[in-house]
Structure 1
Amino acid sequence: MNHLAPGRPLLKPQSRLPGLDTLRSLAIVSVVIFHLAPFLPPSLSVVQRFGWIGVDLFFVLSGFLIGTQLLKPHAQGRPLGQSSILDFYRRRAFRILPAYLTVVALYLFVPLWREQPHLPAAWKLLTFTSNLFMHYPAELAFSHAWSLCIEEHFYLILPLAVLALTRRPSLRKTLAAFTVLLLAGICLRWWELSHIVRAASDDDLWPVFMKRIYYPTYTRLDGLLSGVALATLRLFRPQWWSRLESRGTATFLTGTLLVLAAMATLGFDYPSPDRTLGVLLAFPLLSLGFTLWVASALATNGPLKLRIPATEQLATLAFSLYLTHKAVAHVARQSIPWLTNNRTWPAAALTAILCLIAATLLYRMVEVPFLHLRDRNQALTTSPAAEPQTDPAI
Structure 2
Amino acid sequence: MSGDERGTDFRNAPTPGIKMSRLPGLDLLRAIAIVWVMFFHAQGAGLGAPWPPLSQFGWMGVDLFFALSGYLIGWQVLRPLSQGRRLDFRDFYLRRALRVLPAFWTVLALYLLWPAFRERPGLESGWQFFTFTLNLLIDYEHNKAFSHAWSLCVEEHFYLLFPLLAIALTRRPALWKGAVAVAALVLAGIALRAWVWNGLDDNANHWVERIYYPTWMRLDGLLFGVTLAAVRAYRPQWWEAMMRRSGWLALAGVLAVAAAIALSQQRLGFVASVFGFPVVSLGMALLVAAGASERRWTGRLRVPGAGWLAAASFSLYLSHKGAFALMAGAWGEPLETQPLLAFFAYAGAALAAGAILHYAVERPFLRWRERLIRRRAPAPAAADAAAA
Q: TM-score, normalising length from structure 2? A: 0.91
> Is residue 126 of structure 2 the alignment partner of residue 122 of structure 1?
yes
Q: 1:247 aligns with which of 245, 248, 253?
A: 245
The structure-2 alpha-carbon separation of the partners of 1:42 and 1:287, relative to structure 1 and needing over 3 Å to count, comes to closer
Cα deviation code 1:148-167 (max 9, x no counterpart):
11011101111111111111
Could you give the per-residue CA deviations for residues 79-125 of structure 1, whole angstroms, max 9, x where no partner exists?
33xxx112211110011000000100110111111110010111111
Deviations 1:236-261 (A, max 9, x none): 11121122111121111111111111
Give the root-mean-square deviation of aligned CA atoms. Answer: 1.8
Cα distance between partner residues in 2 of 1:339 and 1:239: 59
Q: Which runs of 5+ in 2 are unaligned?
A: 1-13
Return closer, same or farther for 1:41/1:120 CA change in 2, 3 Å cut-off: closer
1:254–1:289 Cα contact (<8 Å) kept: yes
> How far, CA to CA, are the matches of 2:279 and 2:226 in structure 1?
16
> Match of 1:10?
none
Q: 1:224 to 1:110 in 2, by over 3 A?
A: same
1:45 corresponds in structure 2 to 52
Q: Can you list the C-alpha shifts for 1:216-254, whole angstroms capped at 9, x where unaligned?
A: 000100000000000001111112112211112111111
The alpha carbon displacement at 1:343 in A equals 4.9
CA change 1:136–1:337 in 2 (3 A) is closer
Q: Of 177, 181, 196, which residue of structure 2 is paired with 1:177?
A: 181
Work out the CA distance in 2 between the residues paired with 1:374 and 1:67.
20
> Normalising by the residue count of structure 1, what TM-score does the alignment of the two structures yield?
0.89
Cα gap change, 1:339/1:377 in structure 2, threshold over 3 Å: closer, same or farther? farther
Measure the CA separation in 1 of the matches of 2:178 and 2:310: 31
Choose which of 65, 75, 79 in structure 1 pairs with 2:72: 65
Alignment gaps of 5+ in structure 1:
6-12
- Contact 2:154–2:214 at 8 Å: present in 1 too? yes
1:105 pairs with 2:138: no
Which range moves more in the overlay, 331-340 or 240-249?
331-340
**Structure 2 SS opposite 1:336:** helix
Distance 2:245 2:129 in 1: 43
Q: CA deviation digits over 1:32-62, x for unaligned, max 9?
A: 0000125337551221111110000000000
What is the aligned counterpart of 2:193 among 185, 189, 195? 189
Any conservation in 1 of the 2:67–2:224 contact (CA below 8 Å)?
Answer: yes
1:14 to partner: Cα distance: 3.0
Contact 1:37 1:45 in 2 (8 A): no
8 Å contact 1:79–1:166 — kept in the other structure? Answer: no
| CA distance in structure 2 between the aligned counterparts of 1:333 and 1:294, rounded to whole angstroms | 35
Distance in 1, matches of 2:192 and 2:297, equals 37
Deviation at 1:303, TM superposition (A): 4.2
1:373 aligns with 2:377: no
Cross-structure match for 1:227: 225
Q: Is the 8 A contact 2:122 2:143 kept in 1?
A: yes
SS at structure 2 position matched to 1:77? coil
CA deviations over 1:157-204 (Å, ceiling 9, x no partner): 11111111111111221111111111111111011112x21xx3x3xx
Deviations 1:130-155 (A, max 9, x none): 11001122110001011011011101
How many residues end up aligned between the 2 structures? 369
Q: What residue in structure 1 maps to residue 97 of structure 2?
A: 93
2:292 counterpart letter in structure 1:
L
Comparing 378-387 with 148-157, greater Cα deviation is found at: 378-387
- Kindly indicate whether the alpha-carbon contact (under 8 Å) linking 2:253 and 2:286 is maintained by their aligned counterparts in 1: yes
Change (3 A) 1:49 1:173: same
Counterpart in 2 of 1:384?
383
Q: 1:348 aligns with which of 339, 343, 350?
A: 343
Residue in 1 that maps onto 2:10: none
Q: Give the drift of 1:3.
A: 4.0
Residue 358 of structure 1, CA deviation: 1.2
Matched, 1:292 2:278: no
